[in-house]
Amino acid sequence: MVVLGSLSQIKPSPIPTNSSSSSSNHSQKGLLLTRRRAIVLGPSVVVASLLHFYNPISPQPSSHLALAQQQQEDELQQQEDRSVHLFQETSPSVVFIKDLEIDKSLKASPDAVFLSEDGNSKVEGTGSGFIWDKFGHIVTNYHVVAKLATDQTGLQRCKVYLVDARGNGFFSEGKIVGVDPAYDLAVLKVDVEGHELKPVVLGTSNGLHVGQSCFAIGNPYGYENTLTIGVVSGLGREIPSPDGKAIRGAIQTDAAINAGNSGGPLIDSYGHIIGVNTATFTRKGTGASSGVNFAIPVDTVVRTVPYLIVYGTPYRDRF
């Protein structure tokens, strides 16, 4: 650029008018100077053009990296927000179940003891379940309420802790409506007078794909409203049922399922239930989840529960 500026200040020498030869010589010198200026000017323009395209002051790659990092953080935040929203929408449909054995040495009636604190009764197990409808039907695993279903003493009770649609917590006694040990399913009924419940939204297990996200909500080890996140790890698995037969078509997931999760819902990314959390593969003596967990597919639940509500037994046992 400096060279171009210097050349632009050069002026040709004055041309005398009294000599034709001098005029000719000066014309040739002027033409030569002009050509030289053109020769110098040409490369300078090319260099200037190249300098224009290769500008060391242009935006650095770090700005692009910062933009990409910001976009990634926004996507992560959106993913977290979806998980939080899903839990807030679905957790009111999940219940906490306590299996109680009333102390038979007490003089008070078992019903009176039930309404009091658990100090007068023995907690024999805990589990999860979910609200099936607004009438107070609760779906859970059969093995969660097996002692109540087979009680011969009249001392077994089932205490169900719920949250209504307004967010008010309460508890009620769960009474057996129907059981299906072959599919490890049971239906309880609770008194919901004065409370409006929020039933689960039913999805379908038909069309699930390995790798899609899923969420388990339950009460592992008595810790209420626990959310674990994973993926569908496998389909069409076979797991044992309480009556010794096989439950086919089970969903495998790595969403953590531990003691107390049984009976709770397995949910897809839309908040629809796709299965009932039922079993986990554990190393002998540990009792801890190994990441290989199973749920009964919701399509099986949808076929079974209406018969349990109406008849108390599955369809196949009616004949």
pLDDT tens track for 19-41: 444 444 444 444 344 444 444 44
The CATH 2.40.10.10 portion of the chain extends over 89-189, 201-317
Q: Are 274 and 302 in contact (CB under 8 A)?
A: no
Beta bridge partners of residue 201, listed in sequence order: 272
For residue 96 the two structure tokens come to 């906490």
The mean-pLDDT minimum among 95-104, 160-169, 280-289, 293-302 falls in 280-289
Mean pLDDT of the chain: 81
d(CA 55, CA 198): 63
12 or 253, which is more confident? 253
Q: Are 218 and 139 in contact (CB under 8 A)?
A: no
180 or 60, which is more confident? 180
120 or 23, which is more confident? 120
Tell me the residue length of the chain.
Answer: 319
DSSP 315: G
What percent of the chain is predicted at pLDDT more than 70?
A: 73
Residue type, 261: N
pLDDT at 267: 98
pLDDT at 314: 81
State the pLDDT confidence band at 148, using cuts at 50, 70 and 90: very high
Inform me whether the pLDDT recorded for 42 exceeds 50. Answer: no
Contacts of 43 (CB under 8 A, 6+ apart): none
The domain 201-317 is placed in CATH, from the list 2.40.10.10, 2.40.50.100, 3.40.50.150, 3.40.980.20, at: 2.40.10.10
pLDDT at 220: 94
Class of domain 89-189: mainly beta
d(CA 257, CA 255): 6
**What's the pTM value of the predicted model, to 2 decimals?**
0.74
| CA–CA distances in Å: residue 240 to residues 135, 216, 247, 278, 286 | 31, 21, 6, 10, 19
107 or 4, which is more confident? 107
What percent of the chain is predicted at pLDDT more than 90?
A: 58
Structure-token match 């910001």, residue found: 70
Instruction: Report pLDDT digits (tens) over 289-306.
Output: 678 999 999 999 999 999
pLDDT at 139: 98
d(CA 205, CA 214): 12
Please identify every residue annotated as catalytic: 143, 184, 262
